[in-house]
Amino acid sequence: MSSSLRKDYLTKPIFGWAKGVLPTMSATEREALEAGDVWWDADLFTGNPDWDKLLKVAPATLTAEEQAFMTGPVDRLCEMLDDWKINWELRDLPPDVWDFIKREKFFGMIIPKAYGGLGFSPYAHSEVVRKISSRSVVAAVTVMVPNSLGPGELLMKFGTDEQRQRWLPRLADGSDIPCFGLTSPEAGSDAASMIDSGVICKGTFEGEEVLGLRLNWHKRYITLGPVATLIGLAFKAYDPDHLIGDQDELGITVALIPHDLAGVEIGRRHLPSMQVFQNGPNWG
């Protein structure tokens, strides 16, 4: 009886009140929520997980090429890393380490070989970062970000052929260093709440009238931001004059912004967790 009373006169009214005051789910939030799926982890919520099902899954393995990279360039990189010198003397990776990372294509692990990358698996990427982090968190984060938060994967999935041909080889060999601008002072890393915007408009660029975006953004805590030459910028796009369609609000999208484009500002570095991997704000 007490359980029924609690449910009818306490729990149900509280849930009803909470449902009324919480904001409704936007289309973007719903799309993000429904984009993924569940694996064996769903069994954990049943209270009776099927352990045999988990044990039947074959463990991930490295290919011969990936293993050779682990015992070759990765080991050599680890030998070059002096964490005390990096964090307390240089406040950065040494120039020869930066050069080695670029030359050995650490920034291009997930980029296909057709574009000059290494074409490694997610497991290999994980193992490389794990091993480097045993020597230097700064070096590990520096290698990790272009292969996880950089624009490379977005270009592979959503870019045009022209964009892939132009940018992927340069990202693979370190000619361009990427960063991904999502986090902002107003919304943190909650993409649905960010106020950074891009308005579709006509204007003059390099002497020609073009259809483009007028961007307004402020990002912070952007890893590799202070040294990036190519910013993958997340923002909400708007088309108030209906120049490309009937919708006013087009949702969240990403643009590639060269760091030296007029109007781009790179701020002073942050020092997250007392680790000196390159991290800082940008705006424009």
Q: What CATH number did the domain enclosing 169 receive? A: 1.10.540.10
Asked whether residue 86 carries a pLDDT value surpassing 70, the answer given is: yes
**End-of-domain residue from the set 146, 176, 206:** 176
Q: Residue 32: CB partners within 8 Å, gap ≥ 6?
A: 191, 192
Is 226 a domain residue?
yes
The reply to whether 68 and 86 lie within a common domain is: yes
The per-residue b/e assignment along 21-45, b for 16 or more CB within 10 angstroms, e otherwise, is eeeeeeeeeeeeeeeeeeeeeeeee
Are the C-beta atoms of residues 281 and 231 closer than 8 Å to each other? no
Is 74 a domain residue?
yes
The reply to whether 73 and 135 lie within a common domain is: yes
Is 272 a domain residue?
yes
Number of structural domains found in the chain: 2
What are 198's two structure tokens? Answer: 């891009």
The reply to whether 128 and 199 lie within a common domain is: no
The reply to whether 136 and 194 lie within a common domain is: no
Asked whether residue 33 carries a pLDDT value surpassing 90, the answer given is: no
pTM (global) more than 0.95: no
The reply to whether 157 and 198 lie within a common domain is: no
The reply to whether 169 and 68 lie within a common domain is: yes
Q: Which domain, by its residues, includes 200? A: 180-283
What are 265's two structure tokens? Answer: 């500002």
Q: What is the mean pLDDT of the chain?
A: 91
Best CA proximity match to 280, nearest among 233, 223, 232: 223
Is 15 a domain residue?
no
The reply to whether 82 and 129 lie within a common domain is: yes
Asked whether residue 172 carries a pLDDT value surpassing 90, the answer given is: yes
**End-of-domain residue from the set 127, 160, 176:** 176
Are the C-beta atoms of residues 251 and 236 closer than 8 Å to each other? yes
**End-of-domain residue from the set 128, 154, 176:** 176
| 21-35, 159-173, 181-195, 213-227: segment of lowest average pLDDT | 21-35
What are 92's two structure tokens? Answer: 């950065």
Is 235 a domain residue?
yes
Is 260 a domain residue?
yes
Is 256 a domain residue?
yes
The reply to whether 161 and 213 lie within a common domain is: no
The CATH number of residue 221's host domain is 2.40.110.10
In tens, the pLDDT along 212-256 reads 899 999 999 999 999 999 999 999 999 999 999 999 999 999 999
Is 21 a domain residue?
no
The reply to whether 74 and 158 lie within a common domain is: yes
The reply to whether 204 and 145 lie within a common domain is: no
What is the phi/psi pair of residue 210, to 5°? -135, 160
The reply to whether 184 and 252 lie within a common domain is: yes
The reply to whether 120 and 143 lie within a common domain is: yes
